[in-house]
């Protein structure tokens, strides 16, 4: 079973994502902030991360760049209510940027696409 880490500080939304994605057949771990996400990632390997941007403490963009510096091949979806963070080129480190909406169809389709995508390892530069 594919494992997804959801990083979302709004509890109701976090619960909704957990229920909906569990129904889709994924094993979902939901945490409320970036620090908790880093702790979860240190203990367990996930197949995909969905993260909000505006959260208490470290924001989602910093989380993405931190995670990828250690685990460069993990697919990440940024899921935020704001279009404006698209201007921040650090968001490019994520594989997708989906603006929150009342329908989860776009998010579910992107998860499916990224989780089933053949694994292309990130190149390592020779030292």
Residues 6+ apart with CB under 8 A from 47: 2, 3, 4, 74, 75, 115
Q: Which of 89, 108, 116, 122 is nearest to 28 (CA)?
A: 108
Report the alpha-carbon distance of residue 74 to residue 2 in Å, rounded: 12
For binding to another protein (CB under 8 A), which residues are involved? 62, 64-70, 72, 83, 86-93, 95, 97, 120, 122-125
Two tokens, residue 77: 């979806």
Q: How far is CA 72 from CA 17, 54, 57, 68, 69, in A?
A: 24, 22, 23, 4, 6
Can you name the residues that pair with 51 across neighbouring β-strands? 7, 78
């Amino acid at each position: 079973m594919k494992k997804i880490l959801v990083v979302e500080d709004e509890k109701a939304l976090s619960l909704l994502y957990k229920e909906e994605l569990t129904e889709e057949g994924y094993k979902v771990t939901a945490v409320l902030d970036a620090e908790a996400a880093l702790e979860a990632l240190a203990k367990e390997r996930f197949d995909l991360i969905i993260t909000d941007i505006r959260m208490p403490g470290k924001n989602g963009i910093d989380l993405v760049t931190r995670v990828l510096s250690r685990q460069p091949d993990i697919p990440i979806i940024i899921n935020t209510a704001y279009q404006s963070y698209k201007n921040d080129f650090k968001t490019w480190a994520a594989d997708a940027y989906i603006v929150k909406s009342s329908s989860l169809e776009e998010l579910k389709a992107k998860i499916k696409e990224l989780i089933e995508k053949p694994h292309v390892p990130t190149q390592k530069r020779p030292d």
